[in-house]
Structures are given as structure tokens and as C-alpha cells.
Structure 1
Amino acid sequence: MVKLAGTLVLVGAGKMGGAMLEGWLAGGADPARIVAMDPSPPPEMRELIARHDIRLNPDVAGITDAQVVIIAVKPQMMEEVLPRIAPLKSSKPLVLTVAAGKTIASYERHFGADAAVIRTIPNTPAAVGRGITAMASNPNVTPAQLALARTLLESVGEVVTVETEGMIDMVTAVSGSGPAYVFYLTECLAAAGEKIGLPKELATQLARATVAGSGELMRQSGTDAGVLRQNVTSPKGTTYEALQVLMAEDTGMGPLFEKAVAAALRRSRELAS
């Protein structure tokens, strides 16, 4: 249950912001305590906002009871957006960002060194309520604010807390960018099926269903991925033969993923510097 004592200000009602807004409303949040700030929200979000009579783009100066400010805009827009909403700092709100590539310090520059800031990195499955979000906070965040942040983020999936802000870049490399890795795996599996003679549409259908179903099995069973792999691998069978290629010590998926995740981590650190 999402309970708000003051106003929740959502800055950015795009895919991620919109998914969270839908989750908060489904979780019982009072629409009268929500403000959306977005010059051009997508049509479906504009309709949702209008249907629930949520305030859209009111004068920031008129919001005197901001409890939490959720920042869900693209990183390249941040320096244009933050000065406009900085007056909200007079209410001493929790500043919770779901935008990639911006450090806690960058928000403190706009909201003050005493601002309570939580930096998070969600991933795209949040759009269907199956995301996972990692969060790191500065010392100004109270236990109550941390609990509120967790409740708000759980509206789109699982939530984990990391010990240091530096770990957010590591999380980005694994789960933040991870959906793209899975989508590419699906592409590769479909292309391989087509190459051995399957019709393209059938190969694509098989690959998508296999990846989606395997993920759901792993989620529902809670069984370790390695155990699940072993369970479907018969000694000297077809899966075993394929895994000899995929698990090759030097050329298999393991070394490739190590390189890919390391590259993503390096870029995440560059963007956050």
C-alpha cells in the first residue's frame, strides 16, 4: 500500500516514470497527492493522468509539501530539468532518481548538501512489473524515507540495496544493461535455428517462447540456474553437445559475458564521472 503524507512529484512520465505511476495507483496511492511534470507525456500517460485527475505541470512554486521527488528523465536532459525543480528543496523532500549516469553528488549540487538522495538503477522489465532495482543512498536519508523508496520501487518489481554508490555502476552492467543481453541471446538463438533450416517465423517463435518460459521457470521455482541447467542436460545428449561449445573455457559464453559486463561497467563509470 502506497501511503503518502505529502506530495509525490514525478518528473518525467515516459516509459519508466509511467510504469511506476501505474504501479503506485494500483497500489492505492492517492492521486490527489501526485504531481506529474512532463511537457509532452505519451498519449497513454496523458490519458492516465487525466483519468485520475492528477495535476500535470503545475507551478513548482505552488508545491509546498513535496514529500518525495522522483526523477525519471534522460540523463542528457538533467541539467536543463534540475534547476527548474530545485525550488522544491524548500520542503526537504526525498530525492529519488531512476536516471542512469548521474551521481548522488550531482543532485546535491541542485538540492543542497543536506538533501536526502537515493540513486537507483531499475531495468526495462519494470514496464511489466518484473523489474529489479538497486538503490544506494546518502547519509541524509532517514529509515522512513528508505522504507518509502522501497515501497515506491516495489511497484515495478524487486528491490535490493547496495552498500556503496560505486556498486550502482556494477549493477548497471549486470541488470541495468542485462535485458539487452537476453534480447540479443534470443536473436542469436532464432538466427541459429533459421540457419539449420527452420522457417524464420517459427525459429523466432521457438526462441522467444524458450527464453521467456525458461526465465519464468527460474523465477517461480527459485532453483539455482546451474541446477536447472544440469536438470535438462542428459549425459552425452543433444544439450550436452551444445553446452560443450557454449561453455568452452576460452571461447564460450562465460568469457564473452565477462568482457561484455566489464565493458558496460567501464562505460557506466565514464558517464557518471
Structure 2
Amino acid sequence: MEKKIGFIGCGNMGKAILGGLIASGQVLPGQIWVYTPSPDKVAALHDQFGINAAESAQEVAQIADIIFAAVKPGIMIKVLSEITSSLNKDSLVVSIAAGVTLDQLARALGHDRKIIRAMPNTPALVNAGMTSVTPNALVTPEDTADVLNIFRCFGEAEVIAEPMIHPVVGVSGSSPAYVFMFIEAMADAAVLGGMPRAQAYKFAAQAVMGSAKMVLETGEHPGALKDMVCSPGGTTIEAVRVLEEKGFRAAVIEAMTKCMEKSENSANPDDFRRTSGRHFGAVTSGFLCFVKRQICRFQPLTIVTHLWVQRRNPHTNP
């Protein structure tokens, strides 16, 4: 890629994009300009990656072909309003701020600007992110392809229509939080069974990662993959029975529905000033509160009791 890339703001997610882009070899460090309000942080990024340290957001806007706006949602509109006069005619602005709509971005930048709204998730920090990419009508297919390729440097990316942003929040943006809860609950059960905690986390996390990889790589329906593990009369089907009895699926669906509703309500333009700075945290924390109430009903350690009885019989199928 021969285009110049700019970053305005470079927190954890911005740094994940920057690092993935450089590691991919798609662009050279000399093609990248970064500005943050902290000169020390920009200097550290220059020392680490060899990028160009910009002295202002306006400098980035003047130089770069693709500008990643990676500041907090609460100040995104203000920052973009300050750079709009510095942008070139064909500049492409990519916002990664949760809850800031294309219309709100266009009102700040101008309705004649090429804008993409993107939503990466936190696994991007370990090169396993999932990013939704939503271009406005002025963005060309070539521009969209360039941005998709950038996000695919540290995971996967798909084009999503803006009305689907709220399901994206539920199934991708916030979902790492509840996957972490699931891993934690499994590890707690293993600790109850006598396994050291560090080892329990490793086994649980690896099982989740491997299971996800099977879904992605085999193309099999998740239900079919579940059935492959459940031997007749075995320990796994007993655990599945308890999860079904305690309403595991229903709780996940209901919790994600509440998450999506919270996302949609928080994105209401009338409420934007009040909610934008807290949007992503509110979505995730609202989900967590709901799940914590639901998880108490599951009594997940009941599963361990069943499995503990089963393991006393060495001839029991897994």
C-alpha cells in the first residue's frame, strides 16, 4: 500500500492497529504519522515503531490519505471538528469510537467527506480481533478494501450495514467480557475439583480457543460439533443436561438482547452528548450486571458434582 496513514490518538486499540499494520509489511513506518496530546507517548511510539511524530492533529490531517480517529467517544466530535479544514479533498477518515454514528461523524467533518465507522474488539490487542467496517456512500470499493486489509492485519474484518452495529456490539464488541466470565466459571469449577488455578485458567482458555477455531475452520454447525463430544451416557451430555436445565441458552440470548437494546438507546442522537463518553462501558457493564444475576440461577458448580460422581467410575465415557 502506497498511501500515507495517520493516527489521531493512539491508545490501546490505536496501538494494536498501528502495530499490526507495521508487522504486516503493508506500509513502511515512514508512511505513518501519529499525533497524541502527550509528546512523551508520541516519542515512545517513534522509538518503538519508527513512525513519524506529528506535532498536531491538523498536521496528520494535512499529510495522511487515511486517518484513523482513535480518541475517546466523548471527545471524538470535538477533535474531528478541529481537523476538518485541514483535510484533503479525498481524505478518508476512519472512526473507531463506539456509539458515534456516521451521521454524527458527517456533521462534524462535513457531508462531503469519505467516512468509515469501524468497531474492533479487544482481542485485537493479541492479533485476534473481529472488526466491523461501515462505510458511508462516498467511500469507494477500493477505499473499503484498503481499510479491510488494515484491520485484517490483526484479525478478521467484515463490511456491516450501520443498522447491524447493535448486533455487532452484542456478538463481538461486548462478547469478550462474557466469554471471560465463562472461562472464569469453568476455572472455578476445576479449582473445586483440585486443579491449581493457573493451570485451570490455561485449560479453560485453551478449550474455548480451540472450540472457536473448530467452528471457524470446519464449517460444521456448532450443534453438530457439540454432539461429537457427547458420548451416550457420558459426562459431557450430563453437563449439557444441567446447562439446559438451568437455562444457559436462554440467559445468553436474553443478556445479548439487553446489550443490543442498550447499544441502540445509547446511540440515540438526542442522548449523544450525555451518553457517548460512557457508551461502550455502559453496554458492557449493563450486560455484566444482567449475566451476574442470571448466572446465580445456573448454579454452575452443580455440573462439577455430577462430573465428580462420574469420574469415580473409570469406565464412564467422556
Structure 2 partner of 1:174: 171
How far has the Cα of 1:177 moved from its partner? Answer: 0.8
Q: Please tell me whether residue 133 in structure 1 is matched to residue 128 in structure 2.
A: no
Residue 223 (structure 1) aligned to one of 195, 220, 224: 220
2:119 match: 121
1:94 corresponding residue in structure 2: 92
Q: Post-superposition shift, 1:142?
A: 1.1
One-letter code aligned to 1:187: E
Query: CA 1:247/1:101 → structure 2, altered by over 3 Å: closer, same or farther?
Result: same
Q: CA deviation at 1:46?
A: 4.8
Alpha carbons 1:73, 1:99 under 8 Å: kept: yes
2:263 corresponds in structure 1 to 268
**Structure with more of its chain in helix, by fraction:** 2
Q: Measured at CA, do residues 109 and 103 of structure 1 come closer, stay the same or move farther in structure 2, by a change above 3 Å?
A: same
- Check if 1:54 corresponds to 2:12: no
Equivalent residue for 1:153? 151
* CA 1:188–1:60: 2 relative to 1, 3 Å: closer
Residue 165 (structure 1) shift: 0.6
| Cα separation, 2, equivalents of 1:199 and 1:41 | 44
* C-alpha distance in structure 1 between counterparts of 2:267 and 2:39, whole Å: 27
Query: For residues 176-233 of structure 1, what are the alpha-carbon distances to aligned partners after superposition, in whole Å with 9 as ceiling and x for unaligned?
Result: 1111111110011112223344444443333233223333444444433222211111
Over aligned residue pairs, what C-alpha RMSD do you find? Answer: 2.3
SS at 1:102 equivalent: coil
For residues 9 and 240 of structure 2, the distance between their equivalents in structure 1, rounded to whole angstroms, comes to 44
Letter in 2 for 1:189: M
TM-score by length of 2: 0.76
Q: How many residues align?
A: 266
- Alignment TM-score, normalising by the size of structure 1: 0.88
Distance 1:181 1:42 in 2: 35
Q: 1:76 aligns with which of 74, 77, 82?
A: 74
**Residue 83 (structure 1) shift:** 2.7
Contact 1:95 / 1:118 at 8 angstroms: preserved in 2? yes
Give the Cα–Cα distance (whole angstroms) in 2 for the partners of residues 138 and 74 of structure 1: 21
**Residue 114 of structure 1 aligns to a residue in which SS?**
coil
3-state secondary structure, aligned to 1:230: helix
Aligned partners of 2:210, 2:248: CA distance in 1, in Å? 20
Give the conservation status (yes or no) of the 8 Å contact 1:25–1:31: yes
Provide the C-alpha distance between the structure 1 equivalents of 2:87 and 2:16, rounded to a whole number of angstroms.
25
Percent of aligned pairs with the same amino acid: 34
* Secondary structure class of the residue paired with 1:262: helix
- Aligned amino acid, residue 232 of structure 1: V
Give 2:108's aligned residue: 110
- Structure 1 SS opposite 2:62: coil
